[in-house]
Structure 1
Amino acid sequence: MPRLGKFVFSFVLFVIVCYGGLVWFVNHEVEKGFNEAVAGVDGLKVAYDDIWVSITDQTVTLTAVDATLPDGQQMAAKEIVVHAFDERNPVPHFIRAQVKGMQYAPTQMGGALALGSAMFGLERLNGDMYVDYRYDTNANSLTLNNFSFDDQKIGKLELSGTMTDLDLDQFRMEKLVGLRIANAELTFMNRSFFSTFMQRAAETMRIPEAQATEELISELNKQAQMAGNSDNKVAENALLGLKDFVADPGSIVISATPAEPVPYLYLFMGRDVYENMRLMNLTVKAAPAQGVQ
């Protein structure tokens, strides 16, 4: 082999060895740091088969994850991929991550939440989750670019929005009193969720499911008419949009675009529900089931 060829071959081997060593070092350090971080949270336990980091984009991946949260709740996932994560602040200012094959039982929450999840047929969730948010320190605002959960059996939920008057750097629950909603949008693509809900509602009312659906449609029509009689077109149109979804539960988009950020406590101060809809400038748009996957 010519000297130049030997040099090139040797250099390539050198690069491969260096790269392999770098990958090993980075992955070892990431695993060490991750385990130390988990150990630093009381009650949190995480087991996994493997963890590695991509040198090119710094994506961290964990496989076959089983976790016990600090409150005792359990969840599992086939894979967790962290694309971006703020390590500099106790409460991260940004996260972009996805969970593939997540398994979680909402009934673990107990109380009214457990009863509600059972009523809605959500005893067990099995799907893919994605979260992407960023906090603006100067504006004290948090923008949820996307939160989604896709369960092939139940349906797909997507949520986005912006909240203001939020201080993540000195975060305490009592400070949420001043939290304001600047905008929000919820999209839901129904699969079996709504039919399960109506079946269980009909069983509770001891009437056929078709009758329960007809009564709900009739009630929403009445509520829309009352809102219209009160000269509240926002509430009237929102209720009619909800009625359209009940009649043909395909997909629904609920948007809130208030003229200015609204303190979230306003929604729990005994205000008229129609006025809350007008205050939030709520719109509801439904699409038929045909084509929803």
Structure 2
Amino acid sequence: MAGAKGKFLTAVIFFAVLCSAAGAAGYVWVHDYSVKKVRKETSRFNDIVQVDFEDAMINPLDESLRIDGVKFKFAMGSTASARQVRIMEFDRKHRIPHFMHLEAEQVDVPVNFMNFGTLSSDLKKMGYERLTFDLAADYIYEDGTKRLVLRKLVLDGKDSAQVSIGLGLEDVKLGSPGIGGLVGVSIYNGGMVWRDHSFISRLLDCMAARKSMDREQYTRGILRKLQLQKQSAMSRGNGHAEEFYAGVQAFLEDPSTLSLRVEPQEAVPLLYIFMGRDLDEILSLYGVRVEAGDMVPVAGNE
């Protein structure tokens, strides 16, 4: 009897060791496959951005992907990095993915001329040697309707601001990047919420110092100009412009949350913004609404 129990125990231990070995071998194979697969996929975009990373792992159950220690070097010379990128959904059929849902932790963008051009000088005066933030993005493109819906784009910088954006675009030519690709593209709705942490305060300090003023004095001057613009919009019956100036006024008096909605009566070409129209006309044309505080929903609708 004792011998039978000993044999059974030995068999159990052997089976456990065998399973552990198989599991370890499976993990090593999946890990090796993940790294090779990610390097192959990212190499498709080398003419736009070169991607390097420390580690990668594909979840075989849902095909989600985790990439650690990611570094980006763009063709124009700008650079960025992220501690970790998680891709929950990704279109592998098209060179430019038609859908993607991802999150990135501790994105780091150095403040230098290659990344921000002449703005880098002002950002450094505001105390930023680098901009760091978490990022979340979710979009889908439909071939049939040529609609691009940015369901969510969130940049959350603890020492700057949290920006949440949603957008709905029509007649998008996904394979035509750059200014030429914007020809014919229209916006049918969108929105943004800016939750300030310290960026606006730093910006006002920087602009005031440029004018040799303190921030309070400089802000009062801006508020007076906004009041005059609001009264002018009111006299011309432009409700969108009047609401815009009132919302920005309230936000600058207490920089916390600013919400913006784009609700045109019908889809409006994006390039109209650059065709010599003044701000009041643009606000009315695109149906822009602004409010100091949260205004929901924000995301573009499909």
TM-score band (shorter)?
A: 0.7 to 0.9
Question: Which residue does 1:35 correspond to in 2?
Answer: 39
Deviation at 1:26, TM superposition (A): 2.9
Aligned equivalent of 1:171, options 176, 179, 182 = 176
Deviations 1:76-111 (A, max 9, x none): 211111111111001100111111011102532354
Partner of 1:243: 249
- Secondary structure class of the residue paired with 1:38: helix
Q: Which residue of 2 aligns with 1:127?
A: 133
**Unaligned segments of structure 2, at least 5 residues:** 295-302
Distance 2:111 2:260 in 1: 23
| Residues 41-52 of structure 1: pairs in structure 2 closer than 5 A | 41-42=46-47, 44-52=49-57
Please state how far the C-alpha of 1:31 moved relative to its aligned partner.
Answer: 1.2
Identity %: 24
| Amino acid in structure 2 at the alignment position of 1:75 | A
Deviation string 1:188-216 (CA, Å, 9 cap, x unpaired) is 11111111111011111111211111111
Equivalent residue number for residue 93 of structure 2: 88
Residues 138-176 of structure 1: per-residue CA shift (max 9 Å, x gap): 1101000111111111111111111111022x4243232
Partners of 1:191 and 1:26 in 2: CA distance: 41
- How far, CA to CA, are the matches of 2:117 and 2:108 in structure 1? 20
Other structure's SS at 1:185 match: strand
* Residue aligned with 2:183, SS: helix
Deviations 1:23-62 (A, max 9, x none): 4333322211222233441474433322112223222111
Q: 2:288 aligns with which of 271, 278, 282?
A: 282
Partner of residue 80, structure 2: 75
Distance 1:122 1:282, change over 3 A: farther
Tell me if the contact between 2:139 and 2:151 (Cα under 8 Å) persists in the aligned partners: yes
Partner SS for 2:132: strand
> In the alignment, is the contact (CA less than 8 A) between 1:42 and 1:70 conserved in 2?
yes
TM-score using structure 2 length = 0.85
Q: State the alpha-carbon separation in 1 of the partners of residues 200 and 181 from structure 2.
A: 36
- Paired with 1:224 and 1:167, the residues of 2 have a C-alpha distance of 38
Mapped partners of 1:119, 1:160: distance in 2: 30
Distance 2:291 2:170 in 1: 26
Counterparts of 2:53 and 2:164 in 1: how far apart (Å)? Answer: 28
Structure 2 Cα separation of the partners of residues 244 and 126 of structure 1: 28
Aligned partner of 2:94: which letter? N
SS state of the match for residue 86, structure 2?
strand
Q: Which has the higher contact order (CA 8 A, sep 6+)?
A: 2
Whether contact under 8 Å (1:100, 1:128) holds in the other structure is: yes
Aligned position for 1:207: 213
| Structure-2 residue corresponding to 1:262 | 268
What CA distance in whole angstroms lies between the structure 2 residues aligned with 1:120 and 1:180? 35
Instruction: Supply the RMSD in Å over aligned alpha carbons.
Output: 2.5
Is the aligned partner of 1:158 residue 2:164? yes
Deviations 1:190-247 (A, max 9, x none): 1111111110111111112111111111111110110000111111011101110011
Could you tell me which of 87, 103, 106 is aligned with 2:108? Answer: 103
Give the CA deviation at 1:253. Answer: 0.5
Mean CA deviation greater in 172-181 or 210-219: 172-181
Q: Which stretch has the larger CA shift, 31-40 or 188-197? A: 31-40
Change (3 A) 1:43 1:247: closer
> Aligned to 2:71, which of 63, 66, 72?
66
CA pair 43-241 structure 1, distance change in 2 beyond 3 A: closer
Report the counterpart of residue 273 of structure 1 in structure 2.
279
**Which amino acid counterpart does residue 34 of structure 1 have in structure 2?**
V
Out of 73-82 and 143-152, give the one that drifted further: 73-82
Q: SS of 2:204's equivalent?
A: helix
